[in-house]
């Protein structure tokens, strides 16, 4: 259940790593409810930009406006900052805490290429998806069928890995 339905405010994300931000969010929700909590932090990392936008992906071009406006500005800033080197990957860290002190985490990375131009036909996805080319498929993340995208995305892979870790810990 989303924490907003439980009346829990969003946690601050002041940290420099995806892991620290995900852990802060999970602990915040666990403290507020006394229950286990699952949280993630994710973003786009562009090699030529030293890993930027990274943990600042959602607000790379500022916090003003709604999500759609921020996505447009973020993509514009990314395109303006890209050079010939367009190697990029999505990162997602999931953290499941049993309480505010203990937890299990997964942190996969999905490689791809940040494209120089958004494809106009890209109807699915959000954020940097219209720019993110999945090389093996020759399509941007926004061009993928949502079910397929969720199966191969950084979030989907992170969740699959977390489930595997949970199953492994139960067998011990």
Burial of 161 (0-12, 13-18, 19+ CB in 10 A): middle
Rounded Cα–Cα distance for residues 93 and 162 (Å): 9
Three-class HEC string of 49-103: HCCCEHHHHHHCCCCCCCHHHHHHHHHHHHHHHCCCCCEEEEEEEEEEECCCCCE
Catalytic residue among 40, 41, 71, 129: 41
Question: Active site includes 40?
Answer: no
Measured between alpha carbons, how far is residue 117 from residues 43, 78, 86, 87, 133 in Å?
Answer: 19, 10, 11, 14, 10
Burial of 100 (0-12, 13-18, 19+ CB in 10 A): middle
Residue the block writes with tokens 């810990």: 169
Give the contacts of 138 (CB within 8 A, at least 6 positions apart): none
- Catalogue the active-site residues: 41
């Amino acid at each position: 259940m989303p924490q907003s339905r439980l009346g829990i405010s969003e946690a601050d994300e002041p940290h420099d790593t995806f892991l620290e931000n995900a852990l802060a969010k999970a602990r915040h929700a666990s403290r507020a409810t006394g229950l286990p909590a699952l949280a993630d932090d994710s973003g786009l990392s562009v090699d030529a930009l030293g890993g930027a936008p990274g943990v600042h992906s959602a607000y790379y071009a500022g916090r003003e406006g709604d999500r759609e406006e921020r996505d447009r500005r973020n993509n514009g800033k990314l395109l303006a900052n890209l050079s010939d080197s367009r190697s990029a990957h999505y990162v997602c860290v999931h953290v499941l805490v049993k309480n505010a002190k203990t937890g299990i985490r997964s942190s996969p990375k999905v490689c791809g290429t940040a494209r120089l131009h958004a494809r106009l036909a890209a109807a699915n996805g959000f954020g940097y998806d219209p720019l993110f080319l999945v090389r093996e498929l020759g399509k941007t993340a926004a061009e993928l069928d949502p079910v397929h995208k969720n199966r191969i995305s950084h979030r989907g892979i992170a969740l699959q890995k977390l489930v595997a870790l949970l199953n492994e810990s139960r067998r011990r």
